[in-house]
A and B are shown apart, each in its own frame.
Chain A
Amino acid sequence: MRIRTLIVAIALLALPGLMAAQGQSKWFGLTWSMASPMQNSKEFVSDYSFRGLGLEWRQIKGTNSFGVSLGWNAMNEQGFGTQSGDQADLTGYQFRYINAYSILLSAHHYLGAAGHARPFLGVKTGTYYIDRRVDVGLWRITDNNWHVGVAPELGFTIPMAGNLQYESFYTAVRYNYALAAGDAPYQSWLSVDIGFAVRR
């Protein structure tokens, strides 16, 4: 696990530099991704999550781009309570988690003029691997499924000044909707991403 973490860490550190050398019209972004669970996901875990990362690549042509994005959002909730069934009642601490990993294709359209703050809107679609887990006492209940999903998003990018003309900050708000899969109902959450992008 530590080795895998180290490899991914090195990749994360090296990728911006590598991508910057790839030539014009390419965008590489890293985001801190927060999430607010909604609907079925909120019934499972209700806390706002500050745990998540995003990694994306975009090929820009004119005012449009297409690309690929990878994401991870970890949502959790812990509490103490009693759950009742027909003939049974159970009391204990519950630790609930949703780990959602996404591999999505993306398309974006940019407004405004190059070199200035630019809003953009886009849509991402692909697959989500969602792992839901409940720990109660010494018991663990899990389900994990691959979901097909779609994620419309709105955002804007702010280019940096001076000798950092290839770097920019950007932010995006995205509604993630993963269709039902296996025994899991559809899952949805609102992501708020704050990130850093390199463009050449």
Chain B
Amino acid sequence: MRLNSGKLRIGVGALFLSLWVACYPGEIDSASQTDVVLTFHAANADFQVNNTFSMPDSIVDIGVAAGGASTFDHQYDVQILAKIQANFESMGYTRVNPATGTADAVVLVSGITIDNYSAWTAYPWWGYWGWWGYWGPYGYSAASSPTWYYPWSPVVVTSYKSGTIFISLVDPDVTPPQAGQASSIGGAALNGMLEGTNSEILARINSNIAQAFVQSPYLSTQ
């Protein structure tokens, strides 16, 4: 068969067309690829002065107070908190029962599943955490109108169909700029799409908690 100009040109045109259409770069193709671990810390914080911590045994759904419906799934609170505790312990901390002793620092864990949430801003926090009955030794009460002090704020966490878990390390001995504020000297936000089975989501959360500590070596008490 003899090739003529017309066939050749159409063949070449089709080849280029297929090259153009078929070869656009790949993009995110799994929920785990949307996972992001953000960690923050106060620039001049001395983490080595804290050797003990207390931690409320619930994850607070801050979505309601932020104006959304309560959709945070609490069925894995125990596993998530245990993972966080284990990682703090691996950094040299000891968890203290607040009923029997006063810890150097307090670890607060919250979660949210709504969009467009401005994290790390000076929200009042007593409404979220006032139920924990061990703030007295640190000087916090409803009457003191406590708000957050985040040295790195404001950082906006904006998401779509996603979930975020926040971990905050509060050091009551760090003097905040304003009376009544709670000084957070370290924080983490674990963000990703809420897709997949519950066990897959839990596995990703566990992996992201571990990553948060890997990338925060300054937390070590040593």
Contacts and interface: CB of A to CB of B under 8 A. Distances in A.
A167 B5 contact: yes
B8 A167 contact: yes
Given A13-B17, A196-B12, A91 B211 contact: yes
B116 to A, nearest CB: 12
A13 B36 contact: no
Contacts of B24: 51, 74
Nearest to B33: A93
B12 A78 contact: no
B1 interface: no
Which of A90, A91, A97 lies at the interface centre, i.e. has the most chain B CB atoms within 10 A of its CB? A91
Contact of A163 (B5, B13, B17): B5
Which of B5, B42, B160 lies at the interface centre, i.e. has the most chain A CB atoms within 10 A of its CB? B5
B16 A30 contact: yes
Nearest to A93: B33
B21 interface: yes
A92 B30 CA distance: 13
Given A9-B17, A88-B38, A16 B151 contact: no
Contact of B36 (A76, A139, A196): A139
Contact of A89 (B38, B42, B159, B162): B38
B25 A97 contact: yes
A167 to B, nearest CB: 6
A92 B35 contact: yes
Contacts of A12: 13, 16-17, 20
B25 A74 contact: yes
A132 B192 CA distance: 23
A87 B43 contact: yes
Contacts of B36: 90-92, 136-139
A51 B25 contact: yes
A135 interface: yes
Contacts of A51: 23-25
B25 A32 contact: no
Interface in A17-47: 17, 20, 30, 32
Contacts of B27: 95, 135
B5 A166 contact: yes
A32 B16 CA distance: 7
B39 interface: yes
A165 to B, nearest CB: 9
Interface string B169-198: 000000000000000000000011100000
B99 interface: no
A70 interface: no
Contacts of A167: 5, 8-9
A164 interface: yes
A91 B37 contact: yes
**A-B pairs, 6 with minimum CB distance:** A137-B36, A76-B25, A92-B36, A13-B13, A16-B9, A91-B37
Interface of B: 2-6, 8-10, 12-14, 16-17, 19-21, 23-28, 33-43, 151-152, 155, 158-160, 162, 191-193, 211, 215-216
10 contacts: A14-B13, A30-B16, A53-B20, A74-B25, A82-B215, A87-B42, A90-B36, A93-B34, A137-B192, A164-B5
Given A13-B13, A16-B13, 15 more contacts: A17-B9, A30-B12, A84-B215, A87-B40, A87-B151, A88-B155, A93-B33, A93-B34, A138-B159, A138-B191, A138-B192, A138-B193, A163-B4, A164-B4, A164-B8
